[in-house]
Structure 1
């Protein structure tokens, strides 16, 4: 098991579903301030957009990555490769994010992702922590193909749903206690659901 240390790490955050109900609000709702900003031509940080769509889970990822690897985290996107959470995105780019499926058979997703992960593997020597859907090959397989055993994830993710993972990440960030990591390759990625988190 990989324990937190002073080793440099990079965090990869899986995205929220821009094509889902809350994502569509950003394209259609007249009552959502964030949507109004996009329609007015403002470019909005991609981390802010996904935090609106995903709420607790993505907010947890952002808080955790900022606490333990400030300035060393990237969002996996459907068609723009890896972007820092502060990267500004306009309405046209957001529409593309909502339109392109995250699928290993989709070259618009796979080619930019592989390009950026290869660059990351070349430029960074430490572990790469996946904060996302570890049981889904749409994220893990392209990353393992390049990173191999350097790709790790929080061991406590096994068996947890998205909301529970988000809660775990927020608590860890607030407490300043980094989670333990294990390599994705060869790990048991599905398991018994752990007990519910106690109320904060």
Structure 2
């Protein structure tokens, strides 16, 4: 086991109905008002609103179990055009809107190049495991990360066969129980499977 561990969180969808609610200039709930003001809101707050249980579970779990080396951030969020950002990085309404216009695809240089740049910095760190908390069933994250991180890119074994809500509940349950999940390398793994046992959702 490596002494250090960094988590990469997949992003929330910034182009859906919840994004429209948050970005509505007439919205009066506190998060929307702060998003339109300086200095904005944290990326974690915005994505937790947009993705609900799933992102909240990823963020809470990563904050609990990350073990970064000195000077590194233990929780980093994949973005559509800014590479990796800390969960407490500040974003405003204009940036969130822009996130929603960029295609998450290895073929899109606006997404791929900033992500490759930041992942190469992680690859240079010694004795660090990198855990992806996000979908491994498709290549939109894995194809970029795996080319650089190789066998050091891991994911929770229990993610296979679960949807987003089930994964979020699983992560929050692990934090409540103070029981870290097991991981396996993405390279060579079975990334799709039969539906896993349901986890009760506690909000």
Scaled by the length of structure 2, the TM-score of the pair is 0.91
Structure 1 residues not aligned, in runs of 5+: none
Structure 2 counterpart of 1:130: 132
Measured at CA, do residues 196 and 90 of structure 1 come closer, stay the same or move farther in structure 2, by a change above 3 Å?
same
Runs (4+) off by over 6 Å: none
Which of 9, 18, 25 is residue 14 of structure 2 equivalent to? 18
> 2 CA distance for matches of 1:104 and 1:33?
36
Measured at CA, do residues 40 and 198 of structure 1 come closer, stay the same or move farther in structure 2, by a change above 3 Å?
closer
Q: Secondary structure of the equivalent of 1:186?
A: coil
Aligned length: 196
Q: CA RMSD in A?
A: 1.5
Structure 2 counterpart of 1:64: 61
Q: Secondary structure of the equivalent of 1:30?
A: coil
Q: CA deviation at 1:36?
A: 1.5
**Structure 1 or 2: more helix by fraction:** 1
Q: CA deviation at 1:7?
A: 2.2
> 1 CA distance for matches of 2:166 and 2:109?
32
Structure 1 counterpart of 2:3: 7
> 2 CA distance for matches of 1:170 and 1:197?
10
Moved more, 77-86 or 92-101: 92-101
Measured at CA, do residues 195 and 89 of structure 1 come closer, stay the same or move farther in structure 2, by a change above 3 Å?
same
Structure 2 counterpart of 1:194: 196
Confirm whether residue 80 of structure 1 aligns to residue 82 of structure 2: yes
Q: CA deviation at 1:124?
A: 4.5
